[in-house]
Structure 1
Amino acid sequence: MGFAINTNNDALNTYRNLTSVQNSLSKSLEKLSSGLRINQAGDDAAGLTISTQLASQVSGLQQASRNAQDGTSLVQTADGALTQAQSILGRLRDLAVQAGNDSNSTAARTAIQSEATSLTAELSRIGSSVNFNGQNLLDGSTPTFKFQVGADGNSQSQISVDLSKANLVSVAAGLNAGNANAKVYDIATLGAATSALQFTGSGTGYSDKATVDLTGTNVKGTGAGGAKTAQDYVTTLNADADFAANFTASTYVDGTGGQHVAVAAKNAASTLAVTDSATTPATITASTTVPGSGGNPGIGQLSFATADAAQASIQALDVQIAAVSKARADIGAIENRFNNVVSTISTSVTNLTAAKSRITDVDMAQEMVNYTRANVLSQAGTAMLAQANSLPQLALKLLG
């Protein structure tokens, strides 16, 4: 190559190398200062895609963990109220046992009845007032709560909490003393209805009606859950708004322990009739073999007027105590499930965060080596560029 001064190829080559080294030095400084290997899409396009997905999944799981903790709080709120309900039912049973003695005077029985009425009212108040974040838990208005406990949009990411069996309003309705016009119906008779039952309470100048469709409730007859109980019917009936406006249902336990459904119109003067609305309609007659069916099974059955009535009350309370105990057991199982969900999510978040770290976080030791190398080359390149720029000055000696 000739001795040219117009184009300094050595300086150009040195400048090109120096520019490349400066870019490497700049990237190393960026990574070292941020702690991230990927600071822009060009650093690792595939890694950026994967790490973004992992970050979204981790964020979603963290929110799902908070959702599961909300679920735990909700069921603990319900369980606390049911604990008090059990205490009330236990006291009512003690009163029924006390009333089973004929040694009680009329005044004593009246006092027992007064306390029972007060306790039953409190049971109903608890059912109507207990709520979580403004949503009632134990009145049957929201039988199922769904909680998102996963980061994905599939059914496996949700847990349903069924509180339909924890309806304290229904329990209290089944224990309110006093309506002598209540009628008792066999479960098999109600199950024979084609699709719906129509309840009619009539009196002078008025008629109250309600139709309750049993088709989609899995109550009529038998289903996946096996034979249905009197409490299943009572829960379904009392949860129907039209029915609950004018009628009340409760379980009735006869002298042999047989369970039946007792129904009464809220207007004590009503004459109650139940028909199968899907047929002609056909009238469904009240049981004639159940003790008290034509007298006072009571809506509810808590009567302490005689020793025999007190025994019937004990049996009725045992049914409700068992129902509340079962509801608490179900809630306890759900609470344990939520606790396991939180633990599982915590493990998943740890592992996914570690996976994201391996993709996005910079290896500080390795990057420091790169930085040192680039820094040395930058200083050397700067020095060599100065030398290369001075070479054309030698041509001046030829002119001298």
Structure 2
Amino acid sequence: MTRNSRELDTAMEKLSTGKKINLAADNASGLAITTRMTSQIQGAAAAISNASDAINMVRIADAALIEIESMLQRMRELTLQAASGTVTATDRIYLDAEYQNMLQGIDQIVENTDYNGIALLNNDVAKADRLITFQIGVNASQTKTYFPGVFVDDGSRSNVGAIYQKAPNILSSTLHTGVSSSYAADNFQAALKAIDGALLTVERQYAENGSFINTITRTVDNLFNTQVNTEAARSRIMDSNYARETSNLARTQIVQQAGMAMIAQANALPKTVMMLLSD
């Protein structure tokens, strides 16, 4: 009866909690395994969140680069217009004014583009401080680094705004005084070269951002698969088999009821004997 009562309590506990391992005594090795699995599952959930944040961060930088590219294309168009001999000195002043506004607009985008206070395009800080490390796995070594900013033509990193500021004015400095109507043809060529270099810089960053996003997206997919399959494996070890436990509960209840009936009958037997003797 004591053993059956213990089995009855165990069956009821497994059914009420939904777990077949509630104490280390139930399955010591199984509990240790599922504890590690729980760490993996929760770690995967955190890594998925981190990876999604990383994708959103790079997409913000990508959107800013799209606007910068558009402004650079307009600056190139203005430079080509100003280089034409059909344009007057007054026209060149107007073209140069728009050119300078575009240049300032690019600097503003560079200065203001950030994610949660992290500058994505303005790389005035030291190189080591610009590296962003994302924890995209369940273990300490499973990280991915991202370098905010863009490549200069020589392959080094630099401040985006500073790159564009190197583009010369469309007009010669004398024209800005409003006195001379002459312009330097070399300025147009220098401006075109600088703008084309800046556009190449943006193209390179497009490729880097795109490959980064694609890599992280595949990582997220893999983390989802890992999480789902680890949860399934943990469930097989930890979760109760309701059909089996229901059967055990019914069996132990029947045995308990039968045992109680036998005890009641055994307790009633002396009284029956005494009644017979008294007669």
Indicate the residue corresponding to 1:144 in structure 2. Answer: 131
Q: Does 1:99 align with 2:82?
A: yes
CA spacing shift, 1:37–1:231, aligned 2, 3 Å: closer
Q: Does 1:311 align with 2:178?
A: no
Asked whether the 8 Å contact 1:102–1:306 carries over to 2, the reply is no
Indicate the residue corresponding to 2:176 in structure 1. Answer: none
Indicate the residue corresponding to 1:159 in structure 2. Answer: 144
C-alpha distance in 1 between matches for 2:271 and 2:34: 55
CA spacing shift, 1:93–1:79, aligned 2, 3 Å: same
Give 1 or 2: higher strand fraction.
1
1:37-116 equivalence runs, <5 A: 37-116=20-99
Helix, strand or coil for the counterpart of 1:93? helix
Asked whether the 8 Å contact 2:167–2:190 carries over to 1, the reply is no
C-alpha distance in 2 between matches for 1:357 and 1:162: 40
* TM-score relative to the length of structure 2: 0.87
What residue identity is the alignment partner of 1:150?
G
Indicate the residue corresponding to 1:356 in structure 2. Answer: 234
- Displacement of 1:385: 1.2
Report the aligned-residue RMSD. Answer: 2.3
Larger RCO (CA under 8 A, 6+ residues apart): 2
1:1-400 equivalence runs, <5 A: 18-140=1-123, 141=125, 143-154=130-141, 157-165=142-150, 230=154, 232=156, 235=157, 299-304=166-171, 305-393=183-271, 396=274
Q: Deviations over 1:227-268 (max 9, x none)?
A: xx5463xx45x69xxxxxxxx9759xxxxxxxxxxxxxxxxx
- Displacement of 1:351: 0.4
Asked whether the 8 Å contact 1:89–1:317 carries over to 2, the reply is yes
Asked whether the 8 Å contact 1:303–1:313 carries over to 2, the reply is yes
Helix, strand or coil for the counterpart of 2:258? helix
- Displacement of 1:27: 1.1
- Displacement of 1:30: 1.2
C-alpha distance in 1 between matches for 2:42 and 2:220: 14
- Displacement of 1:33: 1.8
Indicate the residue corresponding to 2:174 in structure 1. Answer: none
Asked whether the 8 Å contact 1:21–1:378 carries over to 2, the reply is yes
Helix, strand or coil for the counterpart of 1:163? coil
Asked whether the 8 Å contact 2:76–2:192 carries over to 1, the reply is yes
How many pairs does the alignment contain? 263
What residue identity is the alignment partner of 1:32?
L
C-alpha distance in 1 between matches for 2:232 and 2:189: 65
- Displacement of 1:308: 3.4
Q: Deviations over 1:63-113 (max 9, x none)?
A: 100100000100000000000000011001101111121221111111111
CA spacing shift, 1:316–1:163, aligned 2, 3 Å: same
- Displacement of 1:395: 6.6
C-alpha distance in 1 between matches for 2:241 and 2:154: 68
Helix, strand or coil for the counterpart of 2:145? strand
Asked whether the 8 Å contact 2:82–2:170 carries over to 1, the reply is no
Asked whether the 8 Å contact 1:102–1:307 carries over to 2, the reply is no
Which consecutive unaligned segments of at least 5 residues does structure 1 have?
A: 1-17, 172-228, 240-247, 252-297
C-alpha distance in 2 between matches for 1:390 and 1:50: 52
- Displacement of 1:299: 4.2
* TM-score relative to the length of structure 1: 0.61
Query: Which of 136-145 and 377-386 deviates more?
Result: 136-145
- Displacement of 1:388: 2.5
C-alpha distance in 1 between matches for 2:245 and 2:155: 71
Asked whether the 8 Å contact 2:55–2:213 carries over to 1, the reply is yes
